[in-house]
């Protein structure tokens, strides 16, 4: 950031309208409309780019997008698939979104998810006799605690040692993966499962069921409830407001006597708790054990979702459905066109680049007079 | 590996491994040093590394010339670097976020285009057998050195000299230390950063070529395990100094070689923990090199990662 940028940012942050919500939150209606327009433009731009790419690869772009739609939202089966994928993505997006409120760029969703999955498994192994609902609650709670503690470490390092949080959380992702592999191939390995290395399973009674009439597990409800809670927390509580003050202007936060250390520790901690909850849900609803199946990149998809939603919790739900849909269509694209499974990753990467580039147009589409 | 060498065997394997494994770290770290000296952070060099590895392998397979593969990898890296710089030259764009996007984009592109090259064998880069004087196979294999490694070492010393002793180096440092001063002198800071990021991408691409054409010397989706990312932390540890980047990459290479080396003396448990050693070491070094009160020592002032 050049000095002039910093200057402008601080002027915006201290303007009478309060912290610079326009960048992070949408804020007043004009900026909200602009943010939505920019995100849609970025999506369309990335879709156009991907169309050119698949055309060069010798596929018919129209047919590709028809199949993509079919795989994402075209049938009730694909809608259920998309909704199932959206649940963990909503939660890992919060791992980037909540710390972004205090100006930290945390990308530790993948590590938080894995630690949360491990936490749920350990909790389920430790206490087996609970009734089903309580057992699920206990496992998901411990998942959130594990994920939260994991990412809070990055906050602690930031506060006490000034360690860059982006690099620290990315390293913590790799360390979490290694730790998980160590545990499921060693101390926690269930030797009765011969096909692959996986941990002992949580009790059958703790398995999370499906929503009545759907083949979508309750994790989606968890995701939506947490999003609503985060929205209220960020917009309508003192701590939430303190976080935006700190994110908008650190000096102002110091002058106001805010507990900067606590906020720097707990913002990543809360984000990590959301990511950990994602991992716990994947465990109790799908695998019932920890294994390499936890490492599928939900954490990285969550970063993209947070940016595409422009760090607005309510927008995260819609964006997660779109991105979850793209991810869900990967298998169908693979079968119909013989595309590599990286096709959807590539499209997601293009969307990410387009979203960031579209920031250049912020404030220019509907200029204030 | 000779079993009677015992723990000496581990030491030799770690030293040999350090030399062998350090090259990708070295090239990415030198590339990132150039980029950050101009005032930008490219966190997407992991993606560049993977795309470079794929391009090098595919080119070598299709043309039969591994050195052409190295050049092609550099070219692919240059393209990604240029893309990063062009997007970051737009107003209100966060360079770290663009790096993360490029990380996802680069690996996605590499896995997509590289799907057909997972099975075949390509022509590898030759090694220089500098250990033939010894009749111990462990020593021989430890001292078989890639010409790319030697090239990287020379490049580190050359960059060290060039950054401090040429007009070009001065311009680069000015863009990184004080963009306003550069502008006042009529220099185009975006253009300087574009060139530096593109050059950084070129070097990282070559680091990828080393992975796929020398060691481990194949192409698959698990080829890189975050070397491109750790190299970014390595640059901080090396305090943006090319020669220190060289020593630091040897250290990182040694940490990476520890897991496989320990396995050879029969310590099989904790394999994954030993594999995590480079990440843990990176984190510890970061904690050690950082400070809560002031910007990092030696950091270019325009770089956002150091504040």
pLDDT of residue A15: 42
Question: Testing the interface with A: which of B41, B79, B96, B97 to mutate, by most A Cβ within 10 A?
Answer: B97
Residue-level pLDDT at B174: 94
Give me the pLDDT at residue A10, please: 45
| Cα distances (angstroms) measured from residue B121 to each of A65, B23, B116, B167 | 34, 22, 11, 45
In chain A, residues 294-353 whose CB comes closer than 8 Å to chain B: 300, 303-304, 307, 339-343, 345-350, 352-353
Note the pTM of the prediction, 2 decimals: 0.90
The 8-class DSSP code of residue B126 comes to: P
Q: What is the pLDDT of residues A261-291, one digit of tens each?
A: 999 999 999 999 999 999 999 999 999 999 9
Q: How many C-beta atoms lie closer than 10 Å to residue A220's C-beta?
A: 24
Instruction: Check residue A12 and give its pLDDT.
Output: 45
Give the tokens for residue A364: 């220019």
B179 contacts on A by Cβ (under 8 Å): 2
Do A175 and B280 count as a contact with CB atoms less than 8 A apart?
Answer: yes
Q: In the prediction, which pLDDT does B306 show?
A: 54
Residue of A82, A101, A26, A78 lying closest to A274 (CA atoms)? A101
Instruction: Match 């481990």 to its residue by tokens.
Output: B216
Instruction: Tell me the shortest Cα–Cα distance from B8 to chain A, in angstroms.
Output: 26
Provide the token pair at B62. 């299709």
Between CA B200 and CA B205 the distance in angstroms is 9
Residues of A in Cβ contact (< 8 Å) with B270: 182, 186
Q: Percentage helix, strand, coil, to 5, in chain B?
A: 70, 0, 25
Residues 61-80 in B contacting A (C-alpha not used; CB under 8 Å) = none
Q: Is B181 on the interface with A (CB under 8 A)?
A: no
Residues A353, B115: C-beta atoms closer than 8 Å? no
Point out the residues of chain A with pLDDT beneath 50.
1-26, 369
Q: What is the number of CB-based contacts under 8 A between chain A and chain B?
A: 151
- The helix/strand/coil state of A143 is helix
Instruction: Give the pLDDT of residue A13.
Output: 43
Interface list for B 42-61 with A (CB within 8 A) = 43
**Per-block average pLDDT, block size 10, for chain B (307 residues)?**
64 82 94 95 94 96 94 98 96 90 95 87 83 77 84 96 96 94 93 97 96 89 85 88 94 83 73 86 89 76 71
For position A350, what pLDDT does the model report? Answer: 96
Tell me whether B227 touches chain A (CB under 8 Å). no
Which residue is closest to A50 within chain B, CA to CA?
Answer: B109
Neighbouring residues of A34: CB distance < 8 A, sequence distance ≥ 6 = A362, A363, A365, A366
């Amino acid at each position: 950031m050049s000095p002039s940028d910093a200057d402008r940012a601080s002027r915006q942050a201290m303007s009478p309208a309060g912290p610079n919500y326009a960048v992070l939150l949408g804020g007043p209606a004009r900026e909200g409309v602009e943010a939505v327009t920019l995100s849609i433009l970025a999506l369309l731009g990335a879709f156009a780019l991907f169309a050119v790419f698949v055309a060069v690869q010798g596929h018919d772009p129209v047919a590709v997008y028809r199949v993509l739609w079919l795989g994402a939202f075209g049938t009730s089966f694909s809608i259920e698939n998309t909704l199932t994928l959206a649940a963990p993505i909503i939660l890992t997006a919060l791992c980037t979104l909540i710390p972004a409120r205090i100006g930290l760029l945390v990308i530790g969703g993948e590590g938080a998810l894995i630690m949360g999955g491990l936490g749920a498994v350990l909790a389920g192994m430790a206490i087996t006799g609970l009734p089903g609902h309580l057992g699920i609650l206990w496992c998901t709670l411990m998942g959130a605690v594990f994920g939260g503690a994991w990412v809070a470490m990055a906050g602690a390092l930031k506060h006490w040692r000034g360690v860059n949080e982006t690099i620290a959380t990315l390293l913590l992702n790799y360390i979490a993966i290694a730790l998980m592999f160590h545990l499921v191939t060693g101390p926690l390995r269930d030797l009765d499962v011969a096909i692959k290395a996986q941990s002992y399973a949580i009790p059958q009674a703790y398995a999370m069921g499906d929503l009545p009439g759907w083949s979508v597990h309750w994790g989606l409800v968890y995701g939506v409830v947490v999003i609503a809670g985060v929205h209220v927390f960020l917009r309508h509580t003192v701590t939430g407001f303190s976080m935006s003050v700190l994110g908008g202007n650190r000096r102002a936060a110091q002058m106001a006597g805010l507990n900067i250390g606590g906020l720097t520790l707990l913002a990543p901690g809360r984000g990590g708790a959301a990511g950990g909850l994602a991992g716990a849900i994947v465990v109790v609803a799908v695998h019932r054990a920890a294994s390499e199946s936890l490492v599928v990149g939900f954490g990285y998809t969550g970063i993209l979702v947070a940016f595409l939603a422009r760090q607005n919790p309510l927008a995260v739900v819609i964006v997660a459905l779109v991105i979850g849909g793209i991810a869900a269509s990967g298998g169908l694209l693979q079968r119909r066109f013989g595309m590599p499974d990286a096709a959807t990753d590539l499209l997601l990467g293009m969307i990410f680049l387009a979203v960031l580039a579209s920031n250049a147009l912020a404030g220019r589409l509907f200029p204030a007079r | 590996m000779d079993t009677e060498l015992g723990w000496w065997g581990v030491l030799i394997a770690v030293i040999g491994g350090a030399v062998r494994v350090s090259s990708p770290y070295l090239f990415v770290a030198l590339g990132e040093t150039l980029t950050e000296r101009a005032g930008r952070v490219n966190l997407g060099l992991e993606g560049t590394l993977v795309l470079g590895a794929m391009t090098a392998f595919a080119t070598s397979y299709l043309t039969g010339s591994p050195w052409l593969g190295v050049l092609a990898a550099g070219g692919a890296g240059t393209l990604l670097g240029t893309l990063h710089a062009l997007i970051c030259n737009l107003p209100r764009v966060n360079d770290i976020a663009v790096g993360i996007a490029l990380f996802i984009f680069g690996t996605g592109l590499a896995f997509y285009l590289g799907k057909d090259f997972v099975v075949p064998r390509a022509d590898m880069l030759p090694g220089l057998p500098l250990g033939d004087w010894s009749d111990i196979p462990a020593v021989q294999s430890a001292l078989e050195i890639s010409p790319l490694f030697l090239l990287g070492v020379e490049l580190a010393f050359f960059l060290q000299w060039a950054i401090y002793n040429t007009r070009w180096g001065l311009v680069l440092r000015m863009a990184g230390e004080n963009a306003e001063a550069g502008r006042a002198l009529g220099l185009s800071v975006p253009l300087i950063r574009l060139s530096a990021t593109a050059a950084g991408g070129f070097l990282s691409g070559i680091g990828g070529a080393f992975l796929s054409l020398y060691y481990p010397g194949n192409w698959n989706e698990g080829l890189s395990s975050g070397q491109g990312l750790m190299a970014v932390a390595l640059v901080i540890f090396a305090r943006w100094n090319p020669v220190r980047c060289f020593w630091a990459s040897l250290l990182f290479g040694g940490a990476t070689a520890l897991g496989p080396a320990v396995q050879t003396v029969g310590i099989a448990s904790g394999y994954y923990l030993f594999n995590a050693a480079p990440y843990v070491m990176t984190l510890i070094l970061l904690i050690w090199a950082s400070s809560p009160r002031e910007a990092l020592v030696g950091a270019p002032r325009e770089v956002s990662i150091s504040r």
